[in-house]
Structure 1
Amino acid sequence: MKKMLVFLAPYRTYVGLVLVLTFLQTMSTLYLPQLMSHIVDHGIVLGREHYILHMGLWMLAITILGGMAAVGASYFAAHASSGFGQRLRSRIFRHVEAFGLAEFNQIGTSSLIVRTTNDVMQVQQLVNMMLRMMVIAPLTAIGGIAMAIHTSPHLSESLIIIIPLLGLAIAAVLGRGLGLFRVLQSKVDRLNRVVRENLIGVRVVRAFHRESLERRRFFDANTDLTDTSVRVFQLMALMMPVVTLIMNLATVAVFWWGSLQIAPRGLEVGSLMAFVQYIMQIMFSVMMLSMMAFMIPRGEASAQRIEEVLQIRLAITDSTETPLTPLPRDWAELSFRHVSFAYPGAEAPALEDISFTAHLGQTVAIIGGTGSGKSTLINLVVRFYDPTAGTITLDGVDIRTLPLETLRQSLGLVPQKAVLFSGSVVENIRYGNPEASEDEIFAALKTAQAWEFVSGLEGSLHHLLDQGGANLSGGQRQRLAIARAIVRHPNIYLFDDSFSALDYKTDALLRRSLKEQTQDAIVLLVAQRIATIVDADLILVLDDGKLVGQGRHRDLLQNCAVYREIAESQLSPEEIA
């Protein structure tokens, strides 16, 4: 939590104003019982109406001053804590944006969402309460004790019993509740994960008629969170009656003991009333501190969860060796040199000793069985992961020495699962190139074989898509994702099994159009269908992470058993011959 207070630095002026105004509010609160004491002892008892009016006006002025100070302190505390929350959320978001796939797998998407929203809100509320309660409560308690001793040293001996008794009662309640706050956030994580999985997988849930299972999963997570919350808030609810009971008993005891001191020790009635007011202020201060004691564990637990995110060291770091300039259009080759890669904690490498070179204007196809490492190879080019051995070079330059922005600006990636965003069709296409003109967008859609269905949509280019493109078919989403990559005019096109949802006719038309579009670029194409890659300049055959063959279609049919086996499963003997 201490490390996060650095995000309050830009608001130190507001924090200073909160401290000053809180001090004025506290002083006005402590001074009012003294004025009341004077009114009772020197005004009411002696019947001096002018004195009562004069002191009453002073009380009114101090009350107004204290009220204005309280409003101002709350205003500036709200500004400071809200600004703190905004900066903290921005810092988390920027850090998470730099995550590679390994970092996302480490924490999980659901937990990252909760930490960026709910956990930051908990810490923000704690900061706001600290600026108010953690300042005003100690000031009021210390000032109240000092003023109580000044008002009646003899009655002040009662504080030796009252304050420890109140502290013990609060500690007994808190001792049972502090650990529950640390559990509460993990329960929120679990509920969020269940809801997110259910909403994302709603089609699968309905297709397999598993609504009852999902309802049971949600009920279990929701009940678990509810039970923990109930236990926490039951303890919090117990705090108020315990503290109120002790305060009322203390008030009765002080009045009883004070009444015995009026005659023999000359204690004035106004002083007794002022002393009781100070006792109440001290107890309210202790109660505020006890409420903070409830808030701190929850805020601290949230702060620790946020700190876990911020402390994650990025496996993929940006290079500063090369200036941030676009790659030239006339660069020559992409080369893998004895590249191996193993996922963290994996028993065997996903890729092992991969070497090949792709030249400008070539289409390099990658084929192999499920789990052979095809998508992993594409991820290494994008630097979602870095090789554990070997190098990947562009024109002889290791891509790890290039700034990530420079590298990724030169790539046009179409992932295995087409990802679209809520918004219009044109906004999704311009995601690949914000400067793209309508003519470029039209050309990209024509090349991707998407213009035919886009032109039929209501609003055409300005047709609004649901989140994830849910109001389009799988093939339509894939074609829009391909158009988004084409409009980028990249040096390297990366198609990760991006034609799987297309029919054979659309597939053939798309490949023919792409051939014309990508003559001055390299195309890396992951595919499952032989028909998609039969015309590739170079075909890489992967099997269990190893490169078992590379060459053109005809050559591989003759000298690569794995490729021939795949071909025989898809093509007729006449087509193979």
Structure 2
Amino acid sequence: MIGEVIMEMIIPKLMATIVDDGVTAGNMDVIYSVGAKMLVAAIIGLLVGILGAMFGSHAATGFARNLRRGMFRNIQTFSFANIDKYSTAGLVTRMTTDVTNIQNAYQMLLRMAIRAPASMIVALIMSFTINAQLASVYLVAVVLLGCALMYIMVHATNYFTGAFRKYDDLNESVQENVSAIRVVKAYVREKFEGEKFRKASENVRQLLMRAELILAWNAPLMTLAVYSCILIISWLGARLIVLSGATSFTTGDLMSMLSYCMNILMSLMMLSMVFVMITMSAASAKRVAEVLDEKSDLTNGENPVTEVKDGAVKFNNVSFAYKKDGEKALENINLDIKSGETVGVIGGTGSAKSSLVQLLPRLYDVTEGSVEVGGVDVRKYDLETLRNSVAMVLQKNELFSGTIAENLRWGNPHATDAEIEEACKQACADEFIERFPDKYETYIEQGGTNVSGGQKQRLCIARALLKKPKILILDDSTSAVDTATDAKIRHSFAEKIPGTTVFIIAQRISSVENADHVLVLDNGRISGYDTPENLLKTNAIYQEVYNNQTKGSGDFDEKGGEA
């Protein structure tokens, strides 16, 4: 950029020489020689300008890539508690719009923040070497225009900052509409969703429009300053030429001064745009920095344990709250579960069943007490080791775009075809996979939209089984499966993975009635923990749910909540 500026500043000076020593004097040799120098300067300026633009583009796009990569990698390390701080739409906005704003500002900084000051300083110096009195006009114009542009910049950037915050609402509206498009169409809510999106986009439009209306004053102010300087310089310069007889100030000098006038004032305008871009991107930079600086609250301690002995689980006076000083989701949980046992977990909605099992793979850390797996506090394990030993089939099943085999290999990337088929048999997924024309190469759409809820659940169970875990957690993961298939899956577990500790969270009594023990949760506390037979005799909640479901009413929340 500096090389380009130097070449641009040399050309007006050479032009003055051509006019004074060549055109006015009628000397063609001077015109040819100085013209050749101007051509060389122009070519050098073009080449270094191209190199500057190329290197600047590489740097800016590489910087944006590094920001996105850094954010994505850091997000992968987040615990659930970290993820809860950000909305999905907010993270998407940070990785797209915010990074783009930073990239544009960075590229402008590389080009304009060096070019504009250098151009203005060199042009001022060259102007003062020609005529200091006339050059002082530029200083006055620079000060006045600088104050006006600073006023514009401050007021415009306030609106830009507000607009970028509104992008989160805009992206959230789009995300919700696309992900829930089937529900939207089923309830004929297209107009409602359209109105919601219109309001979000209108908020962004209004803020950006106000900012752009303020920035629009840049052009007329710049034009006013340029033409005012041209008029003043032309008037004063012409008087100097006439009064001095073109001795102290020549026509070529006047042409150079006018060229430098444009360079100085355009440089000032470029600087104003640089400051606007910096201020615009400052809000984006803060949002990106929040994600980059966020550190997972779940980290490995010193010398972490790298082997899980077995699937024995122990809860020691465990209490848990999602937020610090917030309401406790679990309180005073004490359990001692032997390796290989099957434990059923039942309770009404909001009784913290999922919260309980999420403490095992350390998706969250306990607030009080401790959770042990294999006789060791989970906080002492290497996180990767622990989570490879605990397989979870979450309440909300997720499949990814790709073939069935590719989805199943999420559980074990090195699984053989035979191992995949065996896991599918245990999860009773082979029954429907074999009916597909492409069998295990059948393509699954994003989110598993081309398979039924029950099929999706069985594929997720098979995926978990491929991990060959010490602990298997089924979080209401057979709710879409018929009772007969549910029984087959449980029977398969008892036969095929007898050494694995299994947690079955369920609403149906039939899903847990053959478990070794059943845990009954009520508002985050243990209401009962015993064999199904004993609970049927001693626990009022279990009794009522059992009686209602065996009589045909299967709604746990409605009936069990009254007990």
Q: 1:284 aligns to what?
A: 266
**Matched-pair contact (CA < 8 Å) for 1:320–1:402:** no
Please state if 1:535 is matched with 2:514.
yes
Match of 1:160 among 139, 146, 149: 139
Please state if 1:304 is matched with 2:286.
yes
Please state if 1:427 is matched with 2:375.
no
**Matched-pair contact (CA < 8 Å) for 1:556–1:564:** yes
Q: 2:308 aligns to what?
A: 327
The Cα of 1:345 is off from its aligned counterpart by 6.0
**Matched-pair contact (CA < 8 Å) for 2:317–2:369:** yes
Question: Aligned partners of 1:75, 1:116: CA distance in 2, in Å?
Answer: 24
Match of 1:294 among 264, 276, 300: 276
Question: Aligned partners of 1:79, 1:397: CA distance in 2, in Å?
Answer: 50
Q: 2:186 aligns to what?
A: 207
The Cα of 1:560 is off from its aligned counterpart by 1.1
Please state if 1:499 is matched with 2:481.
no
Match of 1:348 among 327, 331, 334: 327
Q: How many residues align?
A: 549
Q: 1:38 aligns to what?
A: 17
Please state if 1:52 is matched with 2:31.
yes
The Cα of 1:326 is off from its aligned counterpart by 4.3
1:519 partner SS: coil
Question: Aligned partners of 1:438, 1:272: CA distance in 2, in Å?
Answer: 84
Q: 1:453 aligns to what?
A: 432
2:217 partner SS: helix
> Which AA in structure 1 matches 2:284?
S
Q: Provide Cα deviations, 1:14-68, integer angstroms capped at 9, x if missing partner.
A: xxxxxxxx11111111111111111111111111101101111111011100110
Q: 2:355 aligns to what?
A: 376
Question: Aligned partners of 1:517, 1:430: CA distance in 2, in Å?
Answer: 19
> Which AA in structure 2 matches 1:409?
N
Q: 2:251 aligns to what?
A: 269
Q: Provide Cα deviations, 1:469-504, integer angstroms capped at 9, x if missing partner.
A: 111111111111111001111111011110111011
Question: Aligned partners of 1:457, 1:130: CA distance in 2, in Å?
Answer: 57
> Which AA in structure 1 matches 2:69?
S
Q: TM-score, normalised by structure 2?
A: 0.95
Q: Provide Cα deviations, 1:295-335, integer angstroms capped at 9, x if missing partner.
A: 11111010011122233343222334315x3434xx26111
Against the structure 1 CA distance between its residues 402 and 544, is the aligned structure 2 distance closer, same or farther, given a 3 Å change threshold? same
Match of 2:203 among 203, 224, 232: 224
> Which AA in structure 2 matches 1:144?
A
**Matched-pair contact (CA < 8 Å) for 1:320–1:403:** no
Match of 1:259 among 230, 238, 259: 238
Question: Aligned partners of 2:295, 2:102: CA distance in 1, in Å?
Answer: 23
Q: 2:494 aligns to what?
A: 515
Q: Which runs of 5+ in 1 are unaligned?
A: 1-21
Q: 2:54 aligns to what?
A: 75
Q: Provide Cα deviations, 1:259-303, integer angstroms capped at 9, x if missing partner.
A: 011132431111111111111101111010011122111110100
Question: Aligned partners of 1:82, 1:287: CA distance in 2, in Å?
Answer: 25
Question: Aligned partners of 2:83, 2:199: CA distance in 1, in Å?
Answer: 26
**Matched-pair contact (CA < 8 Å) for 2:308–2:374:** no
The Cα of 1:232 is off from its aligned counterpart by 2.1
**Matched-pair contact (CA < 8 Å) for 2:157–2:279:** yes
Match of 1:98 among 77, 82, 89: 77
Against the structure 1 CA distance between its residues 320 and 458, is the aligned structure 2 distance closer, same or farther, given a 3 Å change threshold? farther
Deviates more, 1:126-135 or 1:200-209: 200-209
Question: Aligned partners of 2:5, 2:430: CA distance in 1, in Å?
Answer: 70
- Percent identity between matched residues is 37
**Matched-pair contact (CA < 8 Å) for 2:321–2:330:** yes
> Which AA in structure 2 matches 1:225?
V
Q: Provide Cα deviations, 1:521-550, integer angstroms capped at 9, x if missing partner.
A: 111111111000111011111111111111
**Matched-pair contact (CA < 8 Å) for 1:319–1:404:** no
Q: Which runs of 5+ in 2 are unaligned?
A: 553-563
Q: 2:450 aligns to what?
A: 471
Deviates more, 1:205-214 or 1:179-188: 205-214
**Matched-pair contact (CA < 8 Å) for 2:351–2:521:** yes
Question: Aligned partners of 2:418, 2:398: CA distance in 1, in Å?
Answer: 23
Question: Aligned partners of 1:420, 1:102: CA distance in 2, in Å?
Answer: 23
Question: Aligned partners of 2:200, 2:455: CA distance in 1, in Å?
Answer: 37
**Matched-pair contact (CA < 8 Å) for 1:374–1:542:** yes
Question: Aligned partners of 2:2, 2:103: CA distance in 1, in Å?
Answer: 22
Deviates more, 1:93-102 or 1:53-62: 93-102
Please state if 1:409 is matched with 2:391.
no
> Which AA in structure 1 matches 2:308?
L
Q: Provide Cα deviations, 1:331-355, integer angstroms capped at 9, x if missing partner.
A: 2611111111112167531111111
Q: 2:91 aligns to what?
A: 112
Please state if 1:547 is matched with 2:547.
no
**Matched-pair contact (CA < 8 Å) for 2:312–2:340:** no
**Matched-pair contact (CA < 8 Å) for 2:347–2:353:** yes
Please state if 1:392 is matched with 2:371.
yes
Q: 2:557 aligns to what?
A: none
> Which AA in structure 2 matches 1:228?
L
> Which AA in structure 2 matches 1:58?
K
Question: Aligned partners of 2:154, 2:62: CA distance in 1, in Å?
Answer: 33
The Cα of 1:249 is off from its aligned counterpart by 2.3
1:263 partner SS: helix
Deviates more, 1:305-314 or 1:180-189: 305-314
Question: Aligned partners of 1:319, 1:91: CA distance in 2, in Å?
Answer: 23
**Matched-pair contact (CA < 8 Å) for 1:429–1:441:** yes
The Cα of 1:173 is off from its aligned counterpart by 2.4
The Cα of 1:89 is off from its aligned counterpart by 1.2
Paired residues for 1:170-209 under 5 Å: 170-209=149-188
Question: Aligned partners of 1:238, 1:336: CA distance in 2, in Å?
Answer: 67
**Matched-pair contact (CA < 8 Å) for 1:134–1:289:** yes
Q: Provide Cα deviations, 1:150-198, integer angstroms capped at 9, x if missing partner.
A: 1111211212321122213323322321101111111111100111111
Q: 1:133 aligns to what?
A: 112
1:524 partner SS: strand
Match of 2:101 among 106, 110, 122: 122
Match of 2:129 among 136, 150, 153: 150
**Matched-pair contact (CA < 8 Å) for 1:440–1:487:** yes
> Which AA in structure 2 matches 1:508?
A
1:384 partner SS: coil
2:328 partner SS: coil
Q: 1:526 aligns to what?
A: 505
Against the structure 1 CA distance between its residues 237 and 142, is the aligned structure 2 distance closer, same or farther, given a 3 Å change threshold? same
**Matched-pair contact (CA < 8 Å) for 2:535–2:543:** yes
**Matched-pair contact (CA < 8 Å) for 2:360–2:373:** no
Question: Aligned partners of 2:325, 2:340: CA distance in 1, in Å?
Answer: 36
